[in-house]
Every structure is written in C-alpha cells, then in structure tokens.
C-alpha cells in the first residue's frame, strides 16, 4: 500500500441542507440539515470508513462530494483542486477520477443494457478508448479483474446474482480509471457468504491499482476490517474521527462507545454482557435536531451544559478529534486506567 503523506481528498466544512417545502405556494418552511459542517481528509491509497445509523448523513456526504447532490456550502479538494468550483468540461474530467459504488445491486444496473454496454459506456464518453473493439477488450480485462467471466459480457443484468451484479458495478466504476472510489454500503445488501468475497475484491483492487476509498457503512466489523481511519457520524455531524485504532481501541465519544457496544458480538460467551450500553429512545429527526450537543437526548452522560452549549471539536491525541464536552476528562481517565 502506498502511503505517502499526501491528502488525496480533503473535505472542508461540507454542508448539505434539504429544504422542507410547505404551504400552498410550496415555499421553504425549514431545512433538514443532512450534512452539517463536516470536514475530513483521506490520504492517497488509504481507506476511510464512515459509520453511523440511518439518517445520520453518511450517504448524503458521499453523494454531495461527487456533486450528485448540489452542495449547500463547503469545499472538496481533490489533489489540491476544489472540485465544487468546477463546471462543464472541467468537472467532467474530474468525474473520471472519482467514482461511486451503490448499495443496491439491483437498481444500480440498467436492466435494458447488456453488461458490455454498462461497463464500456463511460470509456467511449470520455474517449478513454478509441473504438468499440478497444472498448470490448478493456471490458473483458475489467471483468476478469473483478471476478466475472468475460464470456458473459453479452448478458443482461437480470441473469446475474446479487454478488455478481455488485462486481459489475465495481467494474463499471473502474472503467474510467478512477483513483478515488466511494463505496456507499457496497456490501450491505449482499448475502453473508458473498460479502466477504466483495470485501476481498475491493482490497485486492486497492492493492493492485492504488485506489483510495471512502467506505460508508453501518456495519462496524466490516469498517474495522477495511479502514485505515474512521469517522463516526451522528445527525449530520462527525462526532469522532481518528485512525482505526484510535476509534476502536480508545474512543472517547459516548456515542461511539454505545455504537460499539450495541453491535452484537460474534461470541456467544459474551452475551449477557452487563457492560453493554443500551441507548434509550430513537434518533431525533434531522429536521429538528436537539439544541446544544445533538446527542444529548440519548446520551447517558448528558448534563445541563450539553443541552445548552454546542461542544467544540477537541483533539484528544494527535489526529483524534472528538466533539464532546467531556472528551478530555474521559480520555485522560481511560489513559490512567490503562
């Protein structure tokens, strides 16, 4: 894995608000702050995991980064260039460098097109290949790289199983030789025995082609396996971010702690674990987030301060940021106990 210390991706203060329309004239009566002031960076050749529950804005973050949704505010640097400022052909050029693989392998493939068209289309669009013959050869090559039989290139999506479809989606994303790929819950819809195949494929491709991933998932064990760094999102904000070890071994945000403890363990001996934190209540609506710290309605440690004051990002150790009033004390206490 190549890990020179260059940031390939840098997201600064990204915001994506969705207007809530109401009334007869469909005027904007409110906003859903799906992504609210999110910043992070990914080094070239590394994998960043983005975890959180449904509605926390992790998918919206990914889609806004690629401008599939129009960003409300913020900057997104690709190799030093702010892609949000680009348009037309300039943007089109950058489209080939950043790709996305979606969750649902069924709705991600146009049922009317044969596989070679699905994979090869963008190569022609961007003049990566000169003619159809060249395109075919590259399609074959990509298909074998992604574990598909090139002989099946003439088939249609419905003739493939879910896992194979996801391989096709990956091949399509790689057709334009991207350097950065967003995997938006790319393995969540697959069967257990297929998930591991796809995860291995993603890892192999990363090693082969030096890809950089943003791996969006709700599945902590998968994120822990594949990521170098991890961001934890709650209601549109990144509440804790750091290296994999920092997040999984010395987390400091109570939400991260609850999330980790809620994930069922793979060991039947560990059930009836009395240390398990079970959060009370449901996720508040992002249209009307709680005041102060957004987590305070469910947080076991919440005090009056939490509901009144928005906590600042605090760097508990180099590269490990936590957005919690008690981050400093909690982190110090843990270090003491160790």
Partner 1 sequence: MTEMNREPLLQVKNLKTYFHSMNGNIVKAVDDVSFEVYEGETLGIVGESGCGKSITCMSLAQLVECPPGRYEGGEILLDGKDMLKVSDAELRKMRGNVISYIFQEPMTSLNPVFKIGFQIEEVLTLHRGLSKEEAHKEAIHALDLVRIPNPERIVNEYPFELSGGMRQRVMIAMALACNPKILVADEPTTALDVTIQAQVLDLMNDLKKQLNTSILFITHDLSVIAEMADRVMVMYAGKVVELADVMTIFENPLHPYTKGLIASRPDMNTSSNRLTVIPGNVPDLSALPEGCSFGPRCGFFCEKCGKGVPELVEVEPNHWVRCYRPGGEDRDN
Partner 2 sequence: MTELSRDEVIRKSTKEDSYWRGVWRRLKQNKLAMISLFILILIVGACIFVPMFSKYSMYEVIAADANQPPSAKHLLGTDKIGRDLFVRLFYGGRVSLGIAIAVTVLETIIGVVLGSMAGFFGGIVDTIISRISEMFMCFPFLMICITLQAIFGTSIMTLITILAVLSWPSIARIVRGQILSLREMDYMEACRALGISNKRQIFKHLFPNVLAYIIVYVTLSMASVILTETSLSFLGLGVSMPTPTWGNLIQEARNLLVLQKKWWYWIPPGSAIFLTILCFNILGDGLRDAIDPKMQK
* Contacts to partner 1 by CB under 8 A: 53-54, 161-164, 191-197, 199-200, 203, 218, 220-222, 224-226, 248, 258-259, 261-271, 276, 278-279, 282-283
Nearer to partner 2, 108 or 243 (CB): 108
| 63 contributes a contact to partner 2 by CB under 8 A | yes
Q: How far is the CB of 68 from partner 2 (least distance, A)?
A: 5
**Do the Cβ atoms of 169 and 86 come closer than 8 Å?**
no
Q: Which does 70 bind (CB under 5 to 8 A by kind): partner 1, partner 2, none?
A: none
Q: Please identify, using beta-carbon distances, which residue of 214 and 222 lies nearer to partner 1.
A: 222
C-alpha distances out from residue 290 to 37, 166, 235, 295, 328, Å: 16, 38, 10, 8, 23
Q: Residue 289's CB: how many other CB atoms inside 10 A?
A: 18
Among 169, 170, 201, 247, binds partner 2 (CB under 8 A): 169
For partner 2, give the closer residue by CB, 168 or 233. 168
Q: Which is nearer to partner 1, 148 or 181 (CB)?
A: 148
109 binds partner 2 (CB under 8 A): yes
Q: Judged by CB, which is closer to partner 1: 95, or 203?
A: 203
Contact with partner 2 (CB under 8 A): which of 2, 3, 110, 200? 110
Residue 256 binding partner 2, by CB under 8 A:
no
Q: How far apart are CA 76 and CA 162, in angstroms?
A: 32
Which one of residues 1, 68, 130, 312 is an interface residue with partner 2 (CB under 8 A)? 68
Does position 116 bind partner 2 by CB under 8 A? yes
Give counts: helices (H), strands (E), the chain. Answer: 11, 12
| Least distance CB 160 / partner 1 (angstroms) | 9
Strand partners, 166: none
Cα–Cα distance measured from residue 154 to residue 127, given in angstroms and rounded to the nearest whole number: 22
Alpha carbons 35 and 13: distance in angstroms, whole number: 9
- Which residue, 83 or 256, has its beta carbon nearer to partner 2? 83
Do residues 324 and 253 lie in contact, with contact meaning Cβ atoms separated by under 8 Å?
yes
Kindly tell me the burial class for residue 253, based on how many C-beta atoms sit within 10 Å of its own C-beta (0-12, 13-18, 19 or more).
buried
Nearer to partner 2, 86 or 209 (CB): 86
Q: Which stretch binds partner 2 (CB under 8 A): 32-40, 171-179, 223-231, 320-328?
A: 171-179
- Please list the alpha-helical segments (H only) found in the chain: 58-65, 88-95, 115-125, 132-145, 162-174, 192-209, 220-226, 244-248, 254-262, 304-308, 327-337
By the rule CB under 8 A, 113 interacts with partner 2: yes
Say whether residue 150 binds partner 2 (CB under 8 A). yes
With CA atoms as reference, report the closest residue to 48 among 34, 62, 37, 60. 62
- Binding-site partner at residue 194 among partner 1, partner 2, none, CB < 5 to 8 Å by type: partner 1
Q: How far apart (Å, rounded) are the C-alpha atoms in residues 324 and 189?
A: 33
Q: How far apart are CA 241 and CA 48, in angstroms?
A: 10
Per CB under 8 A, 125 contacts partner 2: yes
Binds partner 2 by CB under 8 A, chosen from 28, 144, 159, 273:
159
Does residue 336 touch partner 2 according to CB under 8 A? no
Q: What 3-state class would DSSP assign to 138?
A: helix
Q: Are 110 and 102 in contact (CB under 8 A)?
A: no
Residues that bind partner 2 (CB under 8 A): 63, 66, 68, 91-92, 95-96, 98-100, 102-104, 107-114, 116-117, 121-122, 125-126, 136, 140, 150-156, 159, 169, 172-173, 175-176
């Amino acid at each position: 894995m190549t890990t020179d210390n260059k940031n390939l991706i840098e997201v600064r203060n990204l915001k994506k608000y969705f207007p809530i329309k109401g009334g007869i004239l469909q005027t904007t009566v409110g906003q859903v702050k799906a992504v609210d002031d999110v910043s992070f960076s990914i080094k070239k050749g590394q994998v960043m995991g983005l975890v959180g529950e449904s509605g926390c804005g992790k998918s919206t973050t990914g889609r806004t980064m690629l401008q599939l949704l129009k960003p409300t505010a913020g900057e997104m640097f690709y190799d030093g260039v702010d892609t949000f400022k680009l348009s037309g052909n300039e943007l089109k050029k950058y489209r080939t460098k950043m790709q996305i693989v979606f969750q649902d392998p069924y709705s991600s493939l146009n049922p009317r097109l044969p596989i070679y068209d699905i994979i090869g289309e963008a190569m022609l669009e961007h003049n990566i290949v000169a003619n159809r013959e060249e395109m075919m050869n590259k399609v074959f090559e990509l298909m074998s790289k992604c574990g598909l039989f090139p002989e099946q290139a003439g088939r249609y999506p419905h003739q493939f199983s879910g896992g194979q479809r996801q391989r096709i989606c990956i091949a399509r994303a790689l057709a334009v030789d991207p350097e950065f790929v967003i995997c938006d819950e790319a393995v969540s819809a697959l069967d257990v025995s297929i998930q591991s195949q796809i995860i291995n494929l993603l890892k192999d491709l990363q090693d082969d082609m030096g890809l950089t991933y943003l791996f969006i998932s709700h599945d902590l064990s998968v994120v822990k396996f594949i990521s170098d760094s991890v961001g934890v999102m709650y209601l549109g904000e990144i509440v804790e971010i750091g290296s994999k070890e920092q997040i999984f071994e010395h987390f400091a945000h109570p939400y991260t702690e609850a999330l980790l403890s809620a994930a069922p363990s793979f060991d039947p001996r560990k059930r009836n674990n009395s240390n398990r934190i079970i959060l009370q209540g449901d996720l508040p609506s992002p249209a009307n987030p709680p005041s102060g710290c957004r987590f305070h309605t469910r947080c076991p440690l919440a005090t009056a301060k939490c509901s009144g004051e928005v906590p600042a990002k605090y760097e508990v150790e180099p590269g490990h940021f936590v957005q919690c009033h008690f981050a400093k004390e909690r982190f110090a206490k843990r270090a003491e106990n160790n």
